[in-house]
Structure 1
């Protein structure tokens, strides 16, 4: 077993990343919320084991299951570019416990203006930390950029929520319950591009199939960021669209009318159920390693690639981020 493990490629995906199901399985593994509760010491030991495996030095007695679990912990807690341990709240594995609390309370307390403003602010603060934690390390984000992104996204979310709340006052109650989702979707369209604006300005590194760098492309950056925005909105959509319908019906039941204090905890719990499945599904919508035809890139970059490789490089590849 040890001889076999010494040549084991720990960075090779366990599931086919060219298929949607394979990507979902991959993200189910690394966004597992249980990894949030793993001790710092165990995470550090997992990192050591992963790094040793990469060097081809597997400790005697190590089993395949131990290596796979160590890689799961490593992927969930350490930044893929820098190898640094990420803060707990910003990890994708914290999306379920963190997101369920915020989403549940946003959906519960949507009637009063102070509550709307407070919970939209909390949600955007959470999103800003997640975006910063999972940022592309090749593009350092300045404090000014982070502050501007945070302020713009929060203002957009609050303005959307407040404006739609006023607009839907005479609408059916269910319509008012959908206001938080509209605010979240609008804020995502602002927050993510703002936080990753350097990629749009400078372009993102594109490579050939053999990982040879070919140049930087702003068009590729725009594609990657658009996919991330779609994924984040999809992540929130089922819970924030279907849960209000469910709660609208449940609150008409005699038991629910008697125990109103249980409404908020129930929404939090149901939000968690939605997110448990939607986080990996949304992350798996698009391949992590994007593929673009050379013909889609900027004309000058196309010319550079064709001058060097001719027609032998029909596609370029890049990491879209999360």
Structure 2
């Protein structure tokens, strides 16, 4: 028996995006690290299926579960603004496998200066690629701007880590273990705005309730980028704050003192456990499509919106990126 899919809206969210729990369930779905292993031909199938469904052309025999799976793959691998396939490392679904390795080694190799510098550089290189991949694509950034942003963020992370390592030499060991998180948090405050600076300069596209663009707003860009910074720091915080406490206690156990070779792999695995939950939780802190009161827009843009939609249009909407 065939299912009638004539009224099926593939872009309708499966869970209520107006609630935190609904957004977390949504991001658990699309940040599933298993989607990283899906072959290219399967991703191309997913895109073709989603596009056909949007046009109302669904092959006979297609089931709802197939469409939902295609949408999951599409959301995990293709940019929401451009529809272009994103590079694997920059996808949010790669945050768990990529982040767990980098975070685990950052927390393990925190004692020597060369290791601190190397792993902070690796982490910021990874973050820069993720930030660029998940930017609001309506605001292009030049190669020169990307290079400057990357160097600024990397320098900030390394400088923070090195200076804090120097200041905390006589501090308790646990305090020293928290230095990587301080460096990561500081760098996120620089890396994300710098990689998305064109949004702050030119503004990002804001739309009315009918999904029609009404202009570009720098204030919307600032709000969106601020929310992304908060989300990224939240994503890293539990693992990088609690894991040092856990390792501090584990390393005092007799069998752990003998099996020092297991310390680094253990931190990598535990980092992955934290990230598996924190990636969707952090992404779900704020709605992907943000609602902004017209009164908060730039004065000239307020006039444009009111002239187009009248006084009854209280909000505009924009994609904040990830």
Interval containing the TM-score (normalised by the shorter chain): over 0.9
**Equivalent position of 1:98 in the other structure:** 98
Give RMSD over aligned pairs: 1.1
**Equivalent position of 1:182 in the other structure:** 182
Unaligned runs of 5+ residues in structure 2 are none
**Equivalent position of 1:37 in the other structure:** 37
Q: Which moved more, 1:86-95 or 1:207-216?
A: 207-216
Q: 1:160: Cα distance to partner?
A: 0.1
**Equivalent position of 2:305 in the other structure:** 305
* Corresponding residue SS for 1:125: helix
**Equivalent position of 2:69 in the other structure:** 69
Question: Within 5 A, what are the aligned runs for 1:152-231?
Answer: 152-231=152-231
**TM-superposition CA deviations, 1:229-252 (whole Å, max 9, x none):** 000000000000000001011111
Q: 1:3: Cα distance to partner?
A: 5.7
User: Is 1:11 aligned to 2:11, yes or no?
Assistant: yes
Once residues 38 and 272 of structure 2 are traced to their aligned partners in structure 1, the CA distance between those partners, rounded to angstroms, is 20
Q: 1:223: Cα distance to partner?
A: 0.3
**Equivalent position of 1:80 in the other structure:** 80
**Equivalent position of 2:145 in the other structure:** 145
The answer on whether the counterparts of 2:3 and 2:63 sit within 8 Å (CA) in structure 1 is: no
Once residues 83 and 76 of structure 1 are traced to their aligned partners in structure 2, the CA distance between those partners, rounded to angstroms, is 11
Q: 1:2: Cα distance to partner?
A: 4.5
TM-score normalized with structure 1 length: 0.97
Q: Which moved more, 1:151-160 or 1:300-309?
A: 300-309
**Equivalent position of 1:318 in the other structure:** 318
Once residues 315 and 137 of structure 2 are traced to their aligned partners in structure 1, the CA distance between those partners, rounded to angstroms, is 24
Q: Which moved more, 1:284-293 or 1:108-117?
A: 284-293
* Corresponding residue SS for 2:136: coil
Unaligned runs of 5+ residues in structure 1 are none
* Corresponding residue SS for 2:11: coil
The answer on whether the counterparts of 1:2 and 1:58 sit within 8 Å (CA) in structure 2 is: no
**TM-superposition CA deviations, 1:102-125 (whole Å, max 9, x none):** 000000000000000000000011
The answer on whether the counterparts of 2:232 and 2:282 sit within 8 Å (CA) in structure 1 is: yes
**Equivalent position of 2:232 in the other structure:** 232
TM-score normalized with structure 2 length: 0.97
* Corresponding residue SS for 1:214: strand
Q: Which moved more, 1:276-285 or 1:126-135?
A: 126-135
The answer on whether the counterparts of 2:132 and 2:196 sit within 8 Å (CA) in structure 1 is: no
* Corresponding residue SS for 2:148: helix
The answer on whether the counterparts of 1:178 and 1:244 sit within 8 Å (CA) in structure 2 is: yes
Once residues 300 and 137 of structure 2 are traced to their aligned partners in structure 1, the CA distance between those partners, rounded to angstroms, is 26
Number of residues of Structure 1 aligned to a counterpart in Structure 2: 322
